[in-house]
Amino acid sequence: MLALIYFIILGVIALGSAICVFLSRHPLYGALSLVLSMVSLAGIYGLLGSPFVGVVQIMVYAGAIMMLLTFVIMVLNGARDSKTPMFDKVSLFVIPAVLALSGLVGFALVQAPIAFDASALRGSVALTSQTLFDTSSKGQGYFVLFEVLGLLLLSAMVAAVLLAKKRLGSINEGEDK
């Protein structure tokens, strides 16, 4: 029953922050909303019994990819913003969502027994790669997830480059006249 409540809360946070990505007027706030969405998805992966995919979600997507995206936003913005707004409509959802997510994590850490079990199976690189990239019919199908997300990220990068090139090209044409 508690897992269902966690799932509903994390699902609402994921959907709400994904909507905030589209509603935010400032690209940096959109990127922060996307980080919140990815962290809540990692929580859902943990609830579904895939802690490795959840950790990869946080490390790779919420960490590395979002750092790269934030850097690109900062570079392409070209210091056109003299002032970033402190709060907007997106903040009305993001701030309570962050508080709810941190409350869930804190409650889970308090309730979880923190003890070292020496008899637990230790993972290895071979075991992890066998589990993740098992293409047999008995496999979990994690390799499809990595391929789909890789194609999605590739298409997003191509679209970002094309949009930036179109915008930079229009600025250069205006300066020539």
d(CA 25, CA 30): 8
Q: What sections of 60-120 are H helices per DSSP?
A: 66-77, 91-111
Q: Token digits for 154?
A: 């590739």
Who contacts 41 (Cβ-Cβ below 8 Å, separation ≥6)?
10, 14, 57
Question: What pLDDT, on a 0 to 100 scale, did the predictor assign at position 159?
Answer: 82
In a domain, 108, yes or no: yes
In a domain, 4, yes or no: yes
C-alpha distances (whole Å) from 33 to each of 17, 69, 149, 162 are: 5, 12, 19, 23
First-residue to last-residue Cα distance in the chain: 66
Nearest to 57 by CA among 38, 72, 73, 44: 38
Question: What pLDDT, on a 0 to 100 scale, did the predictor assign at position 47?
Answer: 87
d(CA 10, CA 42): 9
Asked if residue 23 and residue 3 are part of one domain, the reply reads yes
Question: What pLDDT, on a 0 to 100 scale, did the predictor assign at position 121?
Answer: 59
In a domain, 128, yes or no: no
CATH of the domain at 43: 1.20.120.1200
In a domain, 15, yes or no: yes
Range of the domain at 66: 1-81+91-122
d(CA 1, CA 101): 18
Asked if residue 69 and residue 12 are part of one domain, the reply reads yes
Asked if residue 148 and residue 64 are part of one domain, the reply reads no
Question: What pLDDT, on a 0 to 100 scale, did the predictor assign at position 82?
Answer: 58
d(CA 29, CA 23): 10
Report the domain count for the chain.
2
In a domain, 127, yes or no: no
125-129 long-range contacts, Cβ below 8 Å, gap at least 24? 128/52
Q: For every one of its 177 residues, what pLDDT tens digit does the chain have, with 9 covering 90 and above? A: 788 888 888 999 999 888 888 888 777 778 888 888 988 999 898 888 888 888 888 888 878 877 777 777 777 765 555 565 666 676 777 778 878 878 887 887 777 766 655 555 566 677 777 777 777 777 677 777 778 888 888 888 888 888 777 665 555 555 544
Asked if residue 98 and residue 154 are part of one domain, the reply reads no
Asked if residue 20 and residue 52 are part of one domain, the reply reads yes
pTM of the model: 0.52
Question: What pLDDT, on a 0 to 100 scale, did the predictor assign at position 127?
Answer: 74
Question: What pLDDT, on a 0 to 100 scale, did the predictor assign at position 108?
Answer: 76
